[in-house]
Structures are given as C-alpha cells and as structure tokens.
Amino acid sequence: MYKIKVKRNFKRFANAKLVAFARNVAQKLTSNAAFPTPDVAPSVILAEAQTLSDYIVAAIKGSKYSTDVMLTQSAKLKAILETEAAYVDRIAMGDIAKIDSAGFEITGNNKVKRPLPDAVLIKKAVSIRNGVIEIEFAPLRQISGIIGIACEVGVLKDMQLLTNAVSIQSIAAQQNTVIAFGNGHKMTINGLKSNVRYEVILFAFNANGKGANSNMVSVMVQ
C-alpha cells in the first residue's frame, strides 16, 4: 500500500469550488501521457461540471427545481471524481509528480503542504458581445481554479471587502451579481445586462483555501 495517494477532499467541496476543481482535473488529464486511458474521459467530467454550473446559476436565480437537481448533480460529479481518483492512484503508484499532474491533491504520511494561491492579476477585461465580458489574466501554478465575480457598479458598497469576508454562495445571492468559473489564463462571464457597467474581481483557490482578490476592473457591457 502506497503512503502517498490522491486526497479525496473534493467530497467536501461546496458546489462552486467543485465545478472549478473538476474542470481543472479534466484539463490536466487531457492528453496527459502519464494517464493515457482514464476510467472517465475528461470530456465527460467537463460536461458534468458544466451541468452542475448551470444548475448553480439557475438556483441562484430562484429556481426550486434547479436547487433540488443541483444536489443530485453534485453527488454525481463527486462520484465521477472518486472513480477518476482511484484510477490516478492505481497508475501513479504513489508518485507525487504524477498525482499532481492530474490535478488532484496529495495525502499520506508525507503530505505536501501548499500555501494559498497568489492574487490573480487581471491584464485586460473587455465586453466581446452582448452580455459577455472576456477577462485575460496572468496564469498561476498549483491552483484548483479561478472564480470570477461581476457586479453592477454601485450595487455593493465595498466589493473587495465583501469577497474577502463571505462565501461564494453569499456573494452570488446578491442582486445584480454574476459568478463564473475558469482556469488557464482567460475566462468569460456571461448573462450580464447590456449597456451596464460592471466591477469585476477574480480570485484563485486550491485545497487550502481562497487566495487574495485580484485588482478590480470596471467594464461597460455591450
């Protein structure tokens, strides 16, 4: 039995964090030479994560049906990640670098402790079409994902303070506020009002928690 294994901490993740984590795992397993034949195809993980993301957004908007099915979809995605974690354990055989390359955290007697993510640096944010903002940011290493928050200017007195103090679900429950999930170096936030100016903040997270907020930018949506 190997002391180093995949950490199953994703089973305790809130839904928003679970979506971003699953997307990161799928991205890292895609064309990963160390894991050529995943038990669950990365495309399937991405599709199930997107379904959960859609239910989160609908539930925030007040859909009772989406709230109910969101719980079922969350459990389904966690089960898929458990299957994939078992596959990674089986192939990696305790190799820390391999497990890390698959997007999972590590557990065991020789735990690898990682700090909180650095703050995201937003390079550019523009409205690319009706209701959509595209944000380009400096990529960060060893993160589970990026969460973006767009809020109409003037709705929140102190957006920086709010995002530091409360949960993602509390932020998303605010009126005229939209959240999105991403990774890499670019993401979009959809479903915004046209001809309205929004404030945008990003932050990264990993298994140890949330990183500091990015610089805040203001964008007029087409």
| Top-confidence range, 21-30, 64-73, 111-120, 208-217 | 21-30
Mean pLDDT, to the nearest integer, of 161-172? Answer: 52
Query: Burial of 72 by CB count in 10 Å (0-12 exposed, 13-18 middle, 19+ buried)?
Result: exposed
pTM of the model: 0.57
Go through the chain and tell me how many residues it has. 222
- Pick the closest to residue 38 from 90, 79, 74 (CA basis): 90
Tens digits of per-residue pLDDT, 11-31?
Answer: 999 888 899 999 999 999 999
CATH architecture of 122-220: Sandwich (2.60)
Q: Give one DSSP letter per residue of 10-64, joined into a string.
A: GGG--HHHHHHHHHHHHHHHTT-TT-SS-SS-HHHHHHHHHHHHHHHHHHHTT-H
Q: Tokens 């102190």 — which residue?
A: 158
- Own/partner contacts of 154-159, CB < 8 Å, gap of 24 or more, are 156/199, 159/199, 159/201, 159/216
Report the SS3 class of residue 125.
strand
Tens digits of per-residue pLDDT, 93-152?
Answer: 988 889 989 999 888 644 455 677 888 899 999 999 889 999 999 888 778 788 888 888
Which pLDDT value is given to residue 126?
Answer: 93
Q: How far apart are CA 217 and CA 122, in angstroms?
A: 8
Is the distance from CB of 178 to CB of 189 less than 8 angstroms? Answer: yes
In the chain, where the domains are located: 5-107, 122-220
Tens digits of per-residue pLDDT, 83-93?
Answer: 999 999 999 99
